[in-house]
Structure 1
Amino acid sequence: MKISKVLFKGGTNFPGKIALKFDKNILKTVSKNYKVILVTGTNGKTTTTSMIYNMIKDSNKKVISNNTGANMLTGIIACFISNYSFTNKEEKYAVIETDEANVKLITEHITPEIITITNLFRDQLDRYGEVYTTLKKILEGIEKVPDSTLILNGDESLLGDLKDSMENKTLYYGFNDSQSSSKTIDINADAKFCKKCKAPYKYEFLTYNHLGKYYCDDCNYKRPELDFSVDKLEDLSSEGSLIIMDGQEYYINQPGLYNIYNGLCAYSIGKTLGIDKSTIYNSLKSQKSSFGRQEHINIEGKQVKMILVKNPAGYDQAINTITLDKNKVNLAVLLNDNYADGRDVSWIWDVKFESLNSLDLDKVMVSGIRLYDMAIRLKTAGLPREKFEICENQDALLKSIKSCSQNTVYVLTTYTAMINLRRFLNSKGYIKKLW
């Protein structure tokens, strides 16, 4: 494992690939004595996994996690191998982020204590297809483990009937408050039609995209009763959120509605595991950014805030979050179309880039493999073209960031562009820990 990290600057998948060649059932062996919490869904997996991991660790329990985001079968095997001991047989926890299509590969060998699904949005259509296909992939895995407890996003209409259709014990979390007064779902939102009768959903309130307190007038399908809830949104800023959950005030040390969902999911699992409220409170309050997810990097006095974006729903929430910043800022937008990003970049036309016009922008830097596609989209959105800087490589982007007159730089980046930029900044000494 150590050698692979030196040779491959990571080693998060390589040991798993080698192990599978020797034993196709290796995962069952190396995961023995672990209570596994499996985290899957479209958005929020890495941050939610980190939050749950920290809660368990802060409660003085032994816990491991694939916190680099290596969430395919080989990466998950590598995580267990790197923590494997022939002699230590004490009970431990493993909080494992899992790619949606890999759930069925994991549950072939492991029966998790808990499986949580964060949400389902259109993402990498060339790989997953529509949200209904993604749900089917996940359910194929859950069907193998009827003894696992499901903790699901109740505001996600695609999950609302699983309590009745699956054998598993099922608990739901969701919002009982929303800052939005709109009850009309956006034309580009996902899952707009009832999964039972195909009539359009109606909403008592929306949080974002298709999430919210939904119901169907035609067949009476509606949001299930919540076991855990956000009862009030007290204050949302560009640094974090103050909220009320189950009658107690909590501070989520990550900004945006989507991170409140992540925090609520982690809270729900923490409560289910019996972790006390004070530990949960302190853990959420001190939560640090994880691996390109609102990670803060200092580049010669410039505060670079890196935000991973990969689909319209998540991108819109990232934009809404940074528009909470009322100071003059710089913006860098990176778009790649490698396999892990999705080859089809037409989804950027479903993102509400027009909302960026409310920012007090000093400079707009555009980079990545598909930088010209992104530049056209931003120009069409109305961003002032005289503020654009086209950065055709990472050296040009770094030079542009260093020359910013304002200290805050928001970087909105797709997955492989984020990985490449972090590796480049590591080589320059601005990031000390690559993985």
Structure 2
Amino acid sequence: MKLSKVLFKGGTNFPGKIALKLDPHILKTIAADYEVILVTGTNGKTTTTSMIYSIIKDSNRLVITNNTGANMYTGIVACFISNFSFKKSSEKKIAVIEVDEANVKFVTDYISPSIITITNLFRDQLDRYGEVYTTLKKILEGVEKTTSSTLILNGDESLLGNLNLKNPIEYYGFATKVNENKIVDINADAKFCTICKAPYEYNFITYNHLGDFYCSKCGYKRPALTYSINKILELSTSGSTVHINNNEYYINQPGTYNIYNALCAYSVAKVLGIPDKIIEHSLKTVASSFGRQETLTIEGKEVKIILVKNPAGYDEAVNTINLDTRKINLALLLNDNYADGKDVSWIWDVNFERLTSLNINKIMISGIRLYDMAIRLKVAGFEADSFLLCNHDEDLLNQIKSCDGEIVYILATYTAMIDLRKFLYAKGYIDKIW
């Protein structure tokens, strides 16, 4: 494992590939001593996994996780291999495992998780997953193999409220509104009732199609919530102060989507019996996962890297940036590698228009599809003459170094984020790649 990290600049999948060649059923053996918690869904998997891991670790329990985001089957196998010991331990061990939606069924062939949690279902990598209903089907293929697993599901996700499953289910969601919006956006996902196909109505919408939904035609509505956001006290670019089940918590990650991530982590922690004081401390202090609201300092400037990969997540990043009243700089990186999705037409569903009212100093554009992004921003209302097209990470870094203003927001798709982090690591601006 250590050698592969040196040779392959991370080694998060390679050991798993080798192990599976030697023994295709190895996961059953190496995961046998663990109580496993699976985290899946379209957005928020890595951050939610990190939050759950931190809470369990703070409770002084033995816990492992695939914190590099290697969530394919080979990466999960590699995670268990790197933590495997031939010495038997009597102490109970927990594994918090992020898993790609299409890979749940491979994991549950060999593991019966104690908990499976699903964060949300949005359009993502259309060339790989198709629409949200296809994504749900892929997840359920894995869930149906393990009926003893407790499901902790996002109740505000309309696709998750009407499942014909034998598993025990608990729901989390918002019991209070974030804004005054009750009308679902034309580009939102899952707008129609899963039972009668009529359009949903909402008491309130949190973002995209998530919220307190109901169908006035057949009566289907959001399920009862066990864990809920009762009050929102403050939203800022640093974090959020909220009431969860009527107790106050500070979440050390900004944006509505991170409130959902924290609520999911809270729900898992409560099922595990972890005290509120530990959850409160952990949510207040948990660090950003790599590339997810990760903050760096470059030449004295605050630089925040935000992973963006689909319209729902991008819009939430835009909404968070809109809370910033400072003079800001934007860097937008768009790639179309396999891990990003080859189809980049989704950028036309992102509300870039909301950014035009901000106090923006520089707009830097980079990535394989930088010209597609430039066209989208021009249509959004930005002056094309102000765009700084950066063909290489070195060009982008030089532009960042010469920025005025107090902060640089880097909005990058997955492989663009990974490549940039490797480059910044080589330059000494990041301590570790993984």
The CA distance in 2 between the partners of 1:386 and 1:265, in whole Å, is 44
Structure 1 segments of 4 or more deviating over 2 A? 384-387
Question: Which residue of structure 2 lines up, in the alignment, with residue 99 of structure 1?
Answer: 100
Question: Which residue of structure 2 lines up, in the alignment, with residue 227 of structure 1?
Answer: 226
SS in 2 for 1:39: strand
1:208 alignment partner AA: Y
Question: Which residue of structure 1 lines up, in the alignment, with residue 141 of structure 2?
Answer: 140
Matching of residues 146-225 of structure 1 within 5 Å: 146-162=147-163, 165-225=164-224
1:27 alignment partner AA: L
Question: Which residue of structure 2 lines up, in the alignment, with residue 404 of structure 1?
Answer: 403
2:290 alignment partner AA: F
Question: Which residue of structure 1 lines up, in the alignment, with residue 267 of structure 2?
Answer: 268
**CA shift digits 1:38-66 (9 cap, x unpaired):** 00000000000000000000000000000
The CA distance in 2 between the partners of 1:377 and 1:187, in whole Å, is 18
**CA shift digits 1:106-142 (9 cap, x unpaired):** 0000000100000000000000000000000000000
Question: Which residue of structure 2 lines up, in the alignment, with residue 15 of structure 1?
Answer: 15
Question: Which residue of structure 1 lines up, in the alignment, with residue 417 of structure 2?
Answer: 418
Question: Which residue of structure 2 lines up, in the alignment, with residue 343 of structure 1?
Answer: 342
The CA distance in 1 between the partners of 2:232 and 2:122, in whole Å, is 23
The CA distance in 2 between the partners of 1:386 and 1:256, in whole Å, is 31
The CA distance in 2 between the partners of 1:407 and 1:212, in whole Å, is 34
Question: Which residue of structure 1 lines up, in the alignment, with residue 131 of structure 2?
Answer: 130
Name the % identity.
Answer: 68
The CA distance in 2 between the partners of 1:85 and 1:358, in whole Å, is 56
Matching of residues 62-77 of structure 1 within 5 Å: 62-77=62-77
Question: Which residue of structure 2 lines up, in the alignment, with residue 79 of structure 1?
Answer: 79
What is the TM-score normalised by the length of structure 1? 0.99
Question: Which residue of structure 1 lines up, in the alignment, with residue 351 of structure 2?
Answer: 352
**CA deviation after TM superposition for structure 1 residue 407, in Å:** 3.2
Question: Which residue of structure 1 lines up, in the alignment, with residue 111 of structure 2?
Answer: 110
**CA deviation after TM superposition for structure 1 residue 359, in Å:** 1.4
Question: Which residue of structure 2 lines up, in the alignment, with residue 119 of structure 1?
Answer: 120
**CA deviation after TM superposition for structure 1 residue 300, in Å:** 1.3
SS in 1 for 2:281: helix
Q: Is the 8 A contact 2:44 2:258 kept in 1?
A: yes
**CA deviation after TM superposition for structure 1 residue 179, in Å:** 2.3
**CA deviation after TM superposition for structure 1 residue 384, in Å:** 2.7
Question: Which residue of structure 2 lines up, in the alignment, with residue 46 of structure 1?
Answer: 46
The CA distance in 1 between the partners of 2:247 and 2:181, in whole Å, is 27
**Greater shift in the superposed pair: 177-186 or 21-30:** 177-186
The CA distance in 1 between the partners of 2:304 and 2:357, in whole Å, is 18
Q: Is the 8 A contact 2:35 2:93 kept in 1?
A: yes
**CA deviation after TM superposition for structure 1 residue 385, in Å:** 2.7
SS in 1 for 2:348: helix
**CA shift digits 1:242-274 (9 cap, x unpaired):** 001111100000000000000000000001100
**CA shift digits 1:150-193 (9 cap, x unpaired):** 0000000000012xx11000000000111221211110000000
Question: Which residue of structure 1 lines up, in the alignment, with residue 394 of structure 2?
Answer: 395
Alignment of 1:242 onto 2:241: yes
Q: Is the 8 A contact 2:132 2:189 kept in 1?
A: yes
Q: Is the 8 A contact 2:192 2:198 kept in 1?
A: yes
**Greater shift in the superposed pair: 33-42 or 296-305:** 296-305
SS in 1 for 2:324: coil
Q: Is the 8 A contact 1:356 1:383 kept in 2?
A: no
**CA deviation after TM superposition for structure 1 residue 358, in Å:** 2.2
**CA shift digits 1:17-76 (9 cap, x unpaired):** 000000000001110110000000000000000000000000000000000000000000
1:32 alignment partner AA: A
The answer for unaligned runs of 5 or more in structure 2 is none
The CA distance in 2 between the partners of 1:300 and 1:28, in whole Å, is 48
The CA distance in 1 between the partners of 2:173 and 2:21, in whole Å, is 42
**CA shift digits 1:168-221 (9 cap, x unpaired):** 000000001112212111100000000101000000110000000000011111
Question: Which residue of structure 1 lines up, in the alignment, with residue 312 of structure 2?
Answer: 313
1:187 alignment partner AA: I
Q: Is the 8 A contact 2:326 2:405 kept in 1?
A: no
What is the TM-score normalised by the length of structure 2? 0.99
SS in 1 for 2:51: helix
Q: Is the 8 A contact 1:234 1:243 kept in 2?
A: yes
The CA distance in 2 between the partners of 1:395 and 1:247, in whole Å, is 49
How many residues in Structure 1 have an aligned counterpart in Structure 2? 433
**CA shift digits 1:342-366 (9 cap, x unpaired):** 0000000000000011211000000
Q: Is the 8 A contact 1:362 1:387 kept in 2?
A: no
Q: Is the 8 A contact 2:229 2:244 kept in 1?
A: yes
**CA deviation after TM superposition for structure 1 residue 383, in Å:** 1.6
**CA deviation after TM superposition for structure 1 residue 297, in Å:** 1.1
SS in 2 for 1:53: helix
Alignment of 1:6 onto 2:41: no
SS in 1 for 2:112: coil
**CA deviation after TM superposition for structure 1 residue 388, in Å:** 1.4
The answer for unaligned runs of 5 or more in structure 1 is none
**CA shift digits 1:280-310 (9 cap, x unpaired):** 0000000111110000111111111000000
1:126 alignment partner AA: D
Q: Is the 8 A contact 1:309 1:414 kept in 2?
A: yes
